[in-house]
Amino acid sequence: MGPLALVGGAEWTEGCTFDQDLWEAAGRPEVVVLPTAAAYEHPERAVDSARAWFGGFGAKAEGLMVLSRSDAMSEEAAATVRRAGFVYLGGGSPMHLRSVLKDSAVWDGLVDAWEGGAVVAGSSAGAMVLGDPMVDPRGGALTLGLGLLRGVAVLPHYDTWSEEKAARTVQLATGHVRIAAVGERTALIRDPEGRWRKEGAGEAAVYVDATPAGLDALP
């Protein structure tokens, strides 16, 4: 499996130094950006932001406009993802992103790419759907995610959530579910050997059964 990056939000902005490191370690591939979560929020702007950010250190990023369920069932789009060396899921609505990608050809392509060694990064909504369970942004309870990472729920924008909302999520995560709470412009990164590290401008924390734990608690 390739590296996996769970980003807490504010992707493609100053402080996200890990993006260049991941790109270089992967052999400097073209970055395939899925703006799916921003389908109703000017997804082309998300792609433009990614192009500008990656272009700032010599990388090429291109958007794959998988915005609807029919787009996600496209074998052509799935093949593009499957061939990618770096796939990035941007932020927006995690509920829309999950509904579009669940049991789709594009999702299968992403899993194949990751299992073949590609970098997979997700920010905010993009990080949330990678786990299972997933934090429901409407209230902080847990719901189903796509499950690239089992037994982990990602809590993005951790530095901006209210204490009450964050505490509710942490307390609901029982049965050894891990909560990966990640601040903006920050990433928890899993290397191909399964080791985790924190990179970026902010803070991150892990909770197991509502108790603080170290990064080694993540699978």
The mean pLDDT of the chain is 94
What would the pLDDT profile of 162-188 be if each residue is shown by its tens digit? 677 677 777 776 667 899 999 999 999
Q: How many domains does the chain have?
A: 1
* CATH (domain of 163): 3.40.50.880
Amino acid 159: pLDDT: 85
Who's near 132: CB < 8 A, 6+ residues apart? 144, 145, 146, 147, 149, 150, 151, 152, 153
Mean pLDDT, residues 61-72 taken together: 98
What would the pLDDT profile of 3-13 be if each residue is shown by its tens digit? 999 999 999 99
- Domain range for 13 is 4-217
What would the pLDDT profile of 186-196 be if each residue is shown by its tens digit? 999 999 999 99
What would the pLDDT profile of 101-120 be if each residue is shown by its tens digit? 999 999 999 999 999 999 99
Amino acid 65: pLDDT: 98
Which runs of consecutive H residues, i.e. helices, occur in the chain?
A: 18-25, 43-55, 69-72, 75-83, 94-101, 105-115, 125-128, 163-172
Amino acid 137: pLDDT: 83
Amino acid 173: pLDDT: 67
